Amino acid sequence: MITEDSDSDLGTLFLLKDSKVNLYTGLPKTTKKKTIRYKEEFVKSLSA
């Protein structure tokens, strides 16, 4: 699994450190418009 201090190359997706990691963990992220989004679809593709 992706840790907070690792860089991973997922084909065309390239994950940067720190803040962008949360986008791919299924954790809730609050956007600038104060809406909560979940990015669980990326987690499912990582386990495949």
Q: What is the pLDDT of residue 35?
A: 76
Residue tagged 């386990």 (tokens)? 47
Q: Is 30 within 8 Å of 36 (Cβ atoms)?
A: yes
What are the CA-CA distances from residue 39 to residues 24, 25 (Å)? 6, 7
Q: Which residue stretches of the chain have pLDDT < 50? A: 6, 9-12, 14-20, 42-48
In angstroms, the Cα distances linking 11 to 4, 22, 25, 43 are 19, 19, 18, 15
Residue 9 β-bridge partners: 14
